[in-house]
Structure 1
Amino acid sequence: MKARTGLFFAAALAAALLQIGFLAWMIQARADILRHGREVRLKVEPVDPRDLLRGDYVRLGYGISVLPKTLFSTPPAGTLAEGAIVLVDVQADEKGLFQPVAMHLPQGAPPPDEKSVRLRGALRSGLSPATDRVRLRYGIERFYLPEGEGRAIEADMRKRSFYVIAAVSAAGQAQIKAFQDGDTTLYQEPLY
């Protein structure tokens, strides 16, 4: 009986350690992107600021979220399913805002040039040969705010320009690093 209890305890401890290790790995991966990723500044557009379970947030849209299919370096042959990965190269314009310059499918994509930052996006809806626009999500479409501030910021976003500073890993994964009202930083994301 004692051996069975000991085995059960060891299995439970191993499962707990695996879960803690996985969570620590996720947190560290995000912190590494924020710490070492290349920064891009993107102009944002509001969508809707509330989540009943998680509090106020600003749902963000970007000029790089809907792109013309003509930006593909090699147009896709056939149809692409929702969720398919697309790589988007962005470069800073004269105002320091990053704009799309090219799109690639992961297989056979040329390396980005030194002026470009490559973002990894996923198709929000399928892409067929008849489609002329590509709709993408990058995983930076929500920014959570302190309780009660979502509506005020949403109203302000309709009156003046807001920006996101995103850190981008070498693999193209983006994390929001800062949220700005013009040149004023409203929120800075902590590493941990």
Structure 2
Amino acid sequence: MSKGRRLVLSALLLALVQTGFLGWMIVGRAAVLRDGREVLLKVEPVDPRDLLRGDYVILNYEISRIPLTIISDIGEVGERLDSAGKITVRLGRDDDGYWRARSAWIRNPPVGPAGTDEIEIAGQIPPLNLAYIGEDVRVTYGIERFYLPEGEGRAIERDMRVRPFGVRVAVPASGNAQVKALMDGDQVLFREPLY
């Protein structure tokens, strides 16, 4: 086989691998949106703009701050968790339809599965020095941005300051959530497409 032919075959193989990887990422995200359990979270937005993707809102959830008192295995005051790490937060549905944090853990999950009106969502926390932190810890879930059609961001952000908005989130068994829709009360404003 000639050197030129090997180069073409190598380039073709590399292109197939890259395409397959991108397809795998897209199909995985679509599976979460299609099959994940849906929860409604209350948000507090900020409105920036991404030069490549357009308008988006940064979403700050009620569950973005977890009280230390609900983290079952946080450790003793003075202990240091030196590296940022994973946290699992168990959410429960309240009478108003929003889901709120009920319990959380860093290392050891509680005995027993979540109840029928509960779900577990995976998050990340920064390094903690328990001697110096306040009464709660900041948690990120990877669902803090929602992209909107161009020109919609500022109007949405303005409206969010005067009436309650929410976000429908799909949560699979792994706990790695995806934003499904932006809600204005009971009305769906924008829905995230599967593909």
Picking from 171, 177, 188, the partner of 2:180 is 177
**Runs of at least 5 residues in structure 1 that lack an aligned partner in the other structure:** none
TM superposition outliers: structure 1 runs of 4+ over 6 Å: none
Q: Shift in Å at residue 190 of structure 1?
A: 1.5
CA distance in 1, matches of 2:63, 2:119: 13
1:128 and 1:190, CA in 2 relative to 1: closer, same or farther beyond 3 A? Answer: same
Which shifted more, 127-136 or 83-92?
127-136
Provide the residue aligned with 1:161 in structure 2.
164
Superposed CA deviations along residues 82-115 of structure 1, whole A, max 9, x for unmatched, are 641100000100111101001111x431354223
- C-alpha RMSD over aligned residues: 1.5
Query: What stretches of structure 2 of length at least 5 have no aligned partner?
Result: none
Alignment partners' CA distance in 2, 1:120 and 1:57: 23
Which of 97, 118, 121 is matched with 1:119 structurally? Answer: 121
Q: What TM-score results when the alignment is normalised by the length of structure 2?
A: 0.91
Deviation at residue 81 of structure 1 after TM alignment = 4.5
Whole-angstrom distance in 2 between the partners of 1:24 and 1:83: 30
Q: 2:94 is matched with which residue? A: 93
Taking structure 1 as the reference length, what is the TM-score of the superposition? Answer: 0.92
Q: Deviations over 1:114-169 (max 9, x none)?
A: 2311110011x321112232101111111110000101111100000000000001
Aligned equivalents of 2:36 and 2:185: distance in 1? Answer: 22
Cα distance, 1:58 vs structure 2 = 0.8
How far apart in 1 are the matches of 2:44 and 2:178? 17
Give the 3-state SS of the residue equivalent to 1:22 in structure 2: helix
Deviation larger for 108-117 or 4-13? 108-117
